[in-house]
A and B are shown apart, each in its own frame.
Chain A
Amino acid sequence: MSRQDEIRELARVALSTGRVDYFIGWREAYNPSEVVPAFVDEPDSVDQLVWNDLCAHNLTTFLKRKMNDRPNAKVGICVKGCDSRTLVALMQENLVDRERLYVVGVPCDGLVDRRKLEKEFSDEIIDITTSNGTVSVTTHQGLTRDFPKADYLLAACGWCRYKNAVYADDVAGPPAEEADRHAKPVWTDVEAFEALSDGERDAMLEEIFATCIRCFACINVCPVCYCWDQCVNRSRRPELVSQKVDAKGNLVFQMVHMLHVAGRCPSCGACDRACPVEIPLSLLHRKMNKEIYDMFEFEPGAKLDEMPVFQCFKIEDAFGD
Chain B
Amino acid sequence: MAETMSGAAAGKKRLTAADVVPGASTARAGKLGGNPYLPEICTVREIIQETPNIRTFRLTFDDPEVQKSFSFLPGQVGQFGVFGVGESSFAITSRPSETEYIQFSVMKAGEVTSAIHQLSLGDKAGVRAPMGCGFPVEAWKGKRILYVMGGIGSAALKATIEYTIEHRVDYEGISILYGATAPENFTYQYDIDQWQKRDDIDLTLTIDRECDGWQCDVGLVPHVLERMNPTPENTIAITCGPPIMIKFALMSFKKLGFSDEQTYTTLEKRMKCGIGICGRCNVGPKYVCVDGPVFSLAELRELPDEL
Chain A 231-243 per-residue mask, 1 if CB under 8 angstroms from chain B, else 0: 0000011000000
When C-beta atoms are compared, the residue in chain A nearest to B114 turns out to be A237
**Contacts of B163-209 to chain A: CB distance below 8 A:** none
A237 CA to B88 CA, complexed, in Å: 14
Chain A 204-239 per-residue mask, 1 if CB under 8 angstroms from chain B, else 0: 000000000000000000000000000000001100
A237 CA to B86 CA, complexed, in Å: 10
In the complex, what's the smallest C-beta–C-beta distance from B114 to chain A, in angstroms? 8
In the complex, what's the smallest C-beta–C-beta distance from A87 to chain B, in angstroms? 35
- Sample 5 A-B pairs with CB under 8 A, ordered by A number: A236-B86, A236-B111, A237-B85, A237-B110, A237-B111
Chain B 90-116 per-residue mask, 1 if CB under 8 angstroms from chain A, else 0: 000000000000000000001100000
CB neighbours (8 Å) of B86 from chain A are 236
Query: Interface size on A (CB < 8 Å)?
Result: 2
CB neighbours (8 Å) of A236 from chain B are 86, 111
- A: residues with CB less than 8 A from B are 236-237
In the complex, what's the smallest C-beta–C-beta distance from B62 to chain A, in angstroms? 27
In the complex, what's the smallest C-beta–C-beta distance from A82 to chain B, in angstroms? 37
CB neighbours (8 Å) of A237 from chain B are 85, 110-111
What 5 pairs across the A-B complex have the smallest Cβ distances?
A237-B111, A236-B111, A237-B85, A236-B86, A237-B110
A174 CA to B86 CA, complexed, in Å: 60
In the complex, what's the smallest C-beta–C-beta distance from B197 to chain A, in angstroms? 43
A236 CA to B84 CA, complexed, in Å: 12
A236 CA to B85 CA, complexed, in Å: 9
In the complex, what's the smallest C-beta–C-beta distance from B128 to chain A, in angstroms? 20
When C-beta atoms are compared, the residue in chain A nearest to B115 turns out to be A237
In the complex, what's the smallest C-beta–C-beta distance from A292 to chain B, in angstroms? 36
In the complex, what's the smallest C-beta–C-beta distance from A234 to chain B, in angstroms? 13
**Contacts of B69-99 to chain A: CB distance below 8 A:** 85-86
In the complex, what's the smallest C-beta–C-beta distance from B278 to chain A, in angstroms? 14
A236 CA to B86 CA, complexed, in Å: 10
When C-beta atoms are compared, the residue in chain B nearest to A237 turns out to be B111
A236 CA to B110 CA, complexed, in Å: 11
CB neighbours (8 Å) of B110 from chain A are 237
A237 CA to B110 CA, complexed, in Å: 9
CB neighbours (8 Å) of B111 from chain A are 236-237
